[in-house]
Amino acid sequence: MSFVKYLRRDSLLQLARKPSLHRNSMLQTCRTLIIETAPPESVKLNRLCGSDSGIMEVALDRPVAKNAINKEMLKSLEKTFETIGKDTSARVVMITSLVPGVFCAGADLKQRRSMTPSEVHTFVNSLRYMFSFIEGLRIPTIAAIEGAALGGGLEMALSCDLRVCGEGAVFSLPETGLAIIPGAGGTQRLSRLVGRSVSKELIFTGRKIDAREAANKGLVNFCVPAGEAHEKAMEIAQQISEKGPMAIKMAKKAIDEGIETSLASGLEVEEMCYQELLNTQDRLEGLAAFAEKRKPLYTGK
């Protein structure tokens, strides 16, 4: 952000001619103005420590637009998840919201209206890539959902391995009502999760479903009392982080790659993943801890 946004060129020249005390005062005023008008970070990364070390929290925080994803927020998401992808200490990721009553309202349609068709195409492709990147992380991902998960917000939740919601959560892919379709993975991930017929009904009608119906349809893994989704997601994350890190990664790989093939090919993927674990220090530690009736100390090696 530049001073020029707030001061004209002639003002800057006048500032240079002022006595130092007055100039310093004006500079301080400008600095304050810049700090106060700088947009806050819409995506926050929190690395937990202590017994929860290895758990990463990605918090959506754009209250002015109910966490609707604009270009700037998308860049922040990309930066955050690229950081997580490179962090060898990361064991599990939780996506949550700091905005009461909403997980994510989808793409920012106000910004969308000012885009050209080419810009829309680029944005949606980038969003699709972002959600595929989340899905492709080697470590488990959990969406903790309170309130509305609509459009791109639901597509982001679908890219996670697990979903936990509070009873007040609401889900919808309303794109057909805007004469478009879910374009960031919704048509593909929803149908793979809940089946072709249910997916068609939800996308064709664009209707909203509540938390209980989402749980009954298999859209979410757990439905808990309103306000407790984060707590439940944290409980699951803690359970995962206690397990052998390499085993969790190989389990995810075996499931994700095997499910898209025949049973015979899937079993070959499983065998390959199992072989990857045979010579690890963690496997020996697991056996030793079992024999000694103690909690294993896994290092991911």
Q: Which band of pLDDT confidence, cut at 50, 70 and 90, is reported for residue 23?
A: very low
Please classify residue 163 by burial: count the beta carbons closer than 10 Å to its beta carbon, then call 0-12 exposed, 13-18 middle and 19+ buried. buried
- In whole angstroms, what is the distance from residue 122 CA to residue 210 CA? 32
- In whole angstroms, what is the distance from residue 204 CA to residue 200 CA? 6
Q: Is residue 28 part of a domain?
A: no
Q: pLDDT tens across 228-285, in order?
A: 999 999 999 999 999 999 999 999 999 999 998 999 999 999 999 999 999 999 999 8
- pTM to 2 decimals? 0.83
Here the CATH number for the domain that contains residue 286 is 1.10.12.10
Is 264 an active-site residue?
Answer: no
Q: For tokens 């600095």, what's the residue?
A: 31
> In this prediction, what percent of the chain has a pLDDT beyond 90?
75
Which range among 21-25, 114-118, 259-263, 291-295 shows the weakest confidence by mean pLDDT?
Answer: 21-25
Q: Which amino acid is at 10?
A: D
Q: Are residues 142 and 268 in the same domain?
A: no
Q: Is residue 34 part of a domain?
A: no
Q: Are residues 131 and 265 in the same domain?
A: no
Q: Are residues 91 and 152 in the same domain?
A: yes
Q: Is residue 92 part of a domain?
A: yes
Residue 70 has pLDDT above 70, yes or no: yes
Termini Cα distance of the chain: 45
- Which of 143, 148, 153, 175 is labelled catalytic? 175
- In whole angstroms, what is the distance from residue 271 CA to residue 180 CA? 42
Q: What is the mean pLDDT of the chain?
A: 87
The confidence score (pLDDT) of residue 285 equals 87
For 165, which DSSP code? E
> What does the pLDDT average to over 21-31?
43
Containing structural domain, residue 269: 245-292
The confidence score (pLDDT) of residue 180 equals 94
Q: Are 222 and 194 in contact (CB under 8 A)?
A: no
> What does the pLDDT average to over 192-205?
96
Q: Are residues 137 and 183 in the same domain?
A: yes
Long-range (24+ apart) CB contacts under 8 A made by 60-66 are 60/95, 60/96, 60/97, 60/98, 60/99, 60/103, 60/104, 61/97, 61/98, 61/99, 62/99, 63/98, 63/99, 65/105, 65/108, 65/110, 66/99, 66/102, 66/104, 66/105, 66/148
- Which of 54, 147, 151, 152 is labelled catalytic? 152
Q: Which amino acid is at 192?
A: R
- Which of 57, 146, 155, 228 is labelled catalytic? 155
The confidence score (pLDDT) of residue 39 equals 54
Is 214 an active-site residue?
Answer: no
Greater pLDDT, 8 or 257: 257
Q: Is residue 106 part of a domain?
A: yes
Q: pLDDT tens across 45-64, in order?
A: 999 988 898 999 999 999 99
Residue 29 has pLDDT above 80, yes or no: no
Q: Are 157 and 143 in contact (CB under 8 A)?
A: yes
The confidence score (pLDDT) of residue 40 equals 67
Q: Are 92 and 139 in contact (CB under 8 A)?
A: yes
Residue 9 has pLDDT above 50, yes or no: no
Overall domain count for the chain: 2
Residue 32 has pLDDT above 50, yes or no: no
Is 175 an active-site residue?
Answer: yes
- Which of 65, 68, 90, 107 is labelled catalytic? 107
Is 228 an active-site residue?
Answer: no
- In whole angstroms, what is the distance from residue 238 CA to residue 275 CA? 26
Residue 169 has pLDDT above 60, yes or no: yes
Q: pLDDT tens across 139-164, in order?
A: 999 999 999 999 999 999 999 999 99
Greater pLDDT, 108 or 203: 203
Q: Are 92 and 142 in contact (CB under 8 A)?
A: yes
Q: Which band of pLDDT confidence, cut at 50, 70 and 90, is reported for residue 21?
A: very low
> In this prediction, what percent of the chain has a pLDDT beyond 70?
87
